[in-house]
Chains A and B, each alone.
Chain A
């Protein structure tokens, strides 16, 4: 079975622009989570979606939004990009919501803001 896939793998944007990152979960997984990982740090939780509903939100500004589609794929949108948004954005899927499930990660989208 295919693992979690993310697109694009790399992206370069300038300050003030908008970006959309995409994630396809493992087949059968209904939960998708998004993380931001700055170089040298651990992943920071942004959102979790389960059955198309938001189940958790991290400490990120309203410029960050996400949604989950009927096929359980997900998009992360970031508006008014800042230099500090440069990071690796990771998507993870699991069968169900909650912390009892191992999460399966994609290899991320590397976002660079100029």
Chain B
């Protein structure tokens, strides 16, 4: 089963608008990561936020983490058509060995 669940499942916006994606998880984490995947390609790492951090920025990306609610959000500002992709959150679990658990993803479509 997948620990992370992204919301919404799909999002369609106009170029220049902001896109917000949310992720919820079930167990305690050490950190949470966001990845992007273009159709038919591998995943690309975007940003990592540690459990003791509340917010992190990288270029047009802003990630927040609320460990009390077991949730994270990814904000992409001033979106571009090239941002069209699937976005996944991933958490680590170390019970019975190490595992990385991905959510089902949010499919973002940015219209030019």
Interface string of A3-24 (1 = CB under 8 A from B): 0100000000000000000000
CA distance A100 to B91 in the complex (A): 10
Is A105 a contact of B42 with CB atoms below 8 Å?
yes
Q: List 30 A-B contacts (CB under 8 A).
A: A4-B42, A33-B100, A41-B105, A42-B2, A42-B4, A42-B102, A44-B2, A45-B99, A45-B100, A48-B98, A48-B99, A55-B97, A56-B97, A56-B98, A56-B99, A57-B97, A92-B42, A92-B43, A98-B94, A98-B98, A99-B29, A99-B91, A99-B93, A99-B94, A100-B30, A100-B50, A103-B100, A105-B35, A105-B42, A107-B40
| B residues neighboring A (CB under 8 Å) | 2, 4, 29-31, 33, 35, 40-45, 48, 50, 88, 91-94, 97-105
In the complex the two chains form, is A102's CB within 8 Å of B42's CB? Answer: no
The answer to whether A42 and B48 have CB atoms under 8 Å apart is no
Cross-chain contact A105 with B30 (CB below 8 angstroms): no
B contact residues around A98 at 8 Å (CB): 92, 94, 98
Bound Cα distance from A24 to B98, whole angstroms: 21
Contacts of B33 in A (CB 8 A): 99, 102-103
Chain A positions 35 through 67: 1 when the CB is less than 8 Å from some CB of chain B, otherwise 0: 100000111110010000011111000000000
B1 and chain A: residue at smallest CB distance: A59
Hey, which chain A residues are within 8 Å of B45, CB to CB?
102-104
Question: Does more than half of chain B's interface fall in helix, strand or loop, or is it mixed?
Answer: strand
Contacts from A to B (Cβ < 8 Å): 4, 33, 35, 41-45, 48, 54-58, 90, 92, 97-100, 102-108
**B4, B98, B103: most-surrounded residue (chain A CB, <10 A):** B98
CA distance A1 to B29 in the complex (A): 32
Among B30, B41, B100, which residue has the most Cβ atoms of chain A within 10 A? B100
Q: Nearest 9 pairs between A and B by C-beta?
A: A99-B92, A105-B42, A56-B98, A42-B102, A102-B45, A56-B97, A105-B43, A107-B42, A43-B102
CB proximity of B87 to chain A, nearest CB, Å: 10
